[in-house]
Amino acid sequence: METAEAAVPEQTLATGGEPPCARSAVTDNGRPVKIEPDLDFIRAVSVQGAESFKKCFQCGTCAATCPISPDVHPFPRKEMAWAGWGMKDRLLTDPDVWLCHQCNDCSTRCPRGGRPGEVLAAIRRESILHYAMPRFLARLMNQQKYIPLRLGIPAILLGLALLFRDRLGSAMGFATTVGEDIVYSYSPMFPHWLLNSFFGFFSLLAFVAVVVGLVRFWRAMTAGYAWWGEPKVKKGILASIVATFRKVITHDNFTKCRARNSRAVAHYLLFFGFVALTAVTLWVITGSVNPIIREEFVYPFSFWSPWKILANIGGIAVLAGCFLMLWERLTDQPNAGFSLFFDWAFLWTLFAVVLTGFATEALHYLRMVPHRHVAYFIHLVFVFSLLIYLPYSKFAHIFYRFAAMVFAERIGRESNGASSGQEVEPR
C-alpha cells in the first residue's frame, strides 16, 4: 500500500546524531512515503468505538499516558494516524498493537473523545482474521448470523462420533459399551479412546492452523518493521521467550493499567484457572504413559482427589474471571471498552464451557439421568467449539500476543518497567 520514494536520497533527510524518534512514523527509514489508503481496511477497522481514530489530532496524550508503551515511537499515537490513513501493511505487521492490554488509560484521557484502546483492539481482530488459515473460516465464524453454524458443526461431529462409536470401537479393537440398556457412566458414553482420538485429531488441525498463522505473522513483522530503520536484535530468541513468559505469568504489564485495573484481576483468574484445567487434562491424558506418575488413574475421581480439587479450583477461577469480564463489559462500557461479536463469542463460549462443566458435575453427583448426559454433550460441544475455532477467535491472542511480545523483546522494544506513563487526571 505504500511506496518509498527512492529518488530522495537518505542523506538529505537523516541528519547525523538525531534521536530515532525524530524520524516520523510515516517515513520509511527516513524517506517519505506515498500513502495509498486501503479503504476496505479503514471500513473494517471502523467498528464500534474504533471509528474514533477519525477524531485524532495527534496530540500524543494517549502515548504519554500509556504506562506500558515504549519510549521510542510509542503506541497508540502512530497507530491512530496509520488507521486514519488506511496503512494496512503497517498495522498488520506492527508488534505494538499486541503490546496493548486495552486498559483504556488512553481512551479515558483522550481530549477529543477518541478511543485508541478500541482502535488497537479492532486492529488485533483484523490481524487474527488476516493471518488465519483458511481465511474464509475466520470470516465466517466471526459473524453473529452464523452462530448456529458455529455450534452446529461441533454438535454434528460429536453426534456422528456417538453414532459410530460402537462400530468404530470394534473395528479398532476397543471395548465399548456393555449391555443394550441406557448408558450410565460417562466412560461408556464417550470412552476415553474416542475422546482422546477425536479431540486429539481436531486439536492437531487447529494447532497446524495456528502454526501457519504464526509463521505468517512473524515473517510479516520481520519484513514490515524496516520502516524505522534496521531492526536491531538486542536479545537472543531464547532469552526473549523466557522474558516474555515471565511477563505473561506475573501479569506485570497488565497490573500497570489504571483506568480498568480490575481487568488484570479477571485475566489473572482466567489465566491460572485455564492453566490448572489444562494441566489436569494433559496429566490425565498422558497418565498411562507418563513415567512420573506412579499411581494409576481410576475413574471417576473421588471428589477429594487432589486432581479433582485442582480442577474444581481452576474451574471456579475461570468462572469468576469470566463473570468479572462479562459483568464489566455489560455494565461499565466506556471504561471496560466496547465489545464486538468477536469479544462476546470468545467470552461467552468460555463461560459456557465452565458453566456446563459444573452443571455436568453437579448432575453427576445428583445422579440425574439422562440430564447429566445431555449436559455433558452440551459441555463437549462448547469445549470443541473453543478448541477448533481457536485460530479464528479471540482465543488466538494467546499465540499472536506471545509472538509479538517475543518480537518486541528481541528488538528491545518492550517497556522495561521504567514507565513513561504519567499520572494524568482522566477527562
Partner 1 sequence: MSIQEKVSSLFRDNNRVAVLVFVLVIIAPFGYSVVRPVFTQGSSTDEVFLDIPDEGECVRETAYMRYHHMDLLKEVREDVIRNGIRGEISVNGCRECHTYRGQFCNQCHEAVTLHVDCFGCHYYPESPEDSVRLESGGHDE
In the complex, the residues that contact partner 1 under the rule CB under 8 A are 177-179, 181-185, 187-188, 249-252, 255, 261-262, 264-265, 268, 272, 275-276, 279-280, 283, 292-296, 298, 300-304, 306-307, 309-310, 313-314, 317, 365, 367
Minimum distance of partner 1 from residue 297's CB (angstroms):
8
Spatial separation of the C-alpha atoms in residues 405 and 244, rounded to whole Å:
6
Q: How many CB atoms neighbour CB 166 within 10 A?
A: 13
Task: Work out how close the CB of 188 gets to partner 1 at its nearest, in angstroms, rounded to a whole number.
Answer: 6
Minimum gap (Å) between residue 388 Cβ and partner 1:
26
- Which residue's CB is nearer to partner 1, number 226 or number 282? 282
Least distance in angstroms from the C-beta of 302 to partner 1: 5
Shorter beta-carbon distance to partner 1: residue 1 or 248: 248
Residue with cell 488512553: 106
Determine the angle formed by the axes of helices 192-224 and 116-131, rounding to 10 degrees: 110
Residue with Cβ nearer partner 1 (89 or 105): 105
- Smaller CB separation from partner 1, 193 or 341: 193
* Alpha-carbon span 77 to 265, nearest angstrom: 27
Instruction: Measure Cα distances from 356 to 138, 169, 319, 359, 371 in Å.
Output: 25, 27, 11, 5, 12
Question: Residue 312 CB, nearest distance to partner 1 (Å)?
Answer: 11
C-alpha cell at 421: 506513563
What residues contact 236, with CB distance under 8 A and at least 6 apart? Answer: 410
Please tell me the distance from the alpha carbon of residue 72 to that of residue 153, in angstroms, as a whole number: 46
The residue among 157 and 316 lying less far from partner 1, judged by its C-beta, is 316
Residue 140 or 162 with smaller CB distance to partner 1: 162
Cell readout for 138 is 475466520
Q: In angstroms, how far is CA 98 from the centroid of its own chain? A: 10
Return the number of the residue (232 or 294) whose C-beta is nearest partner 1.
294
Q: Helices 192-224 and 397-410 meet at what angle, rounded to 10? A: 40
Q: Which is nearer to partner 1, 214 or 313 (CB)?
A: 313
Least distance between partner 1 and beta carbon 109 (Å): 18
Q: Distance (Å, rounded) from C-alpha 169 to C-alpha 195?
A: 12
What residues contact residue 33 under an 8 Å CB cut-off, 6+ apart?
Answer: 2, 3, 4, 5, 26, 27, 227
Long-range contacts of 343-351 (CB under 8 A, 24+ apart): 343/121, 343/394, 345/141, 345/142, 345/150, 345/393, 345/394, 346/393, 346/394, 346/395, 347/322, 347/394, 349/382, 349/385, 349/386, 349/393, 350/270, 350/318, 350/322, 350/386, 351/319, 351/322, 351/323, 351/326
74 upstream amide cis, omega within 30 of 0: no
Contact at 8 Å (CB) between 379 and 359? yes
Cβ closer to partner 1: 7 or 298? 298
Instruction: Give Cα 108 to chain centroid, integer Å.
Output: 23
Nearer to partner 1, 137 or 275 (CB): 275
C-beta of 252: minimal distance to partner 1 in Å? Answer: 7
Q: Least CB distance from residue 173 to partner 1, whole Å?
A: 16
Least Cβ distance, residue 262 to partner 1 (angstroms): 4
- CA nearest neighbour of 118 among 46, 169, 218, 37: 46
Antiparallel, parallel or unpaired: β 31-35 and 2-4: antiparallel
Find the shortest distance in angstroms from Cβ 295 to partner 1. Answer: 6
Residue among 6 and 178 whose Cβ is closer to partner 1:
178
Compute the least distance from the CB of residue 390 to partner 1, in Å.
22
For the record, the C-alpha cell of 225 comes out as: 518493521
